[in-house]
């Protein structure tokens, strides 16, 4: 799951491996609960995606880290 925080402070979570798998919440705890629900719904509605994941459960994408860089413009 990728987690971002939008300009209003809401957390937005998405699972890039599953098309249409994203949600938002006010807290990280709530986001984790919601993304699990969305994953279940996506896999229930997309039987092909579910079969693909069952055949090869390993993640197709790995993310290592995110860093903030400070850039001086002048």
Domain residues of the chain, as ranges? 2-55
d(CA 30, CA 35): 9
Mind listing the pLDDT tens digit for each residue in 8-23? Answer: 999 999 988 888 899 9
Percent of the chain with pLDDT over 70: 86
Q: In CATH terms, is domain 2-55 a member of 3.30.160.250? A: yes
Straight-line distance from the first to the last Cα atom of the chain, in angstroms, rounded to the nearest whole number: 36
- The helix-helix angle for 28-45 and 47-55 (nearest 10°) equals 100
Residues in CB range of 5: below 8 A, 6 or more apart: 11, 12
pLDDT at 57 over 70: no
């Amino acid at each position: 799951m990728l987690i971002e925080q939008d300009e209003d402070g809401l957390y937005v979570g998405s699972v890039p491996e599953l098309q249409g798998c994203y949600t938002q919440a006010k807290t990280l705890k709530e986001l984790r609960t919601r993304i699990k629900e969305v994953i279940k719904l996506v896999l229930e509605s997309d039987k092909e995606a579910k079969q693909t994941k069952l055949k090869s459960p390993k993640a197709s994408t790995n993310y290592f880290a995110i860093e903030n860089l400070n850039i001086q413009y002048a």
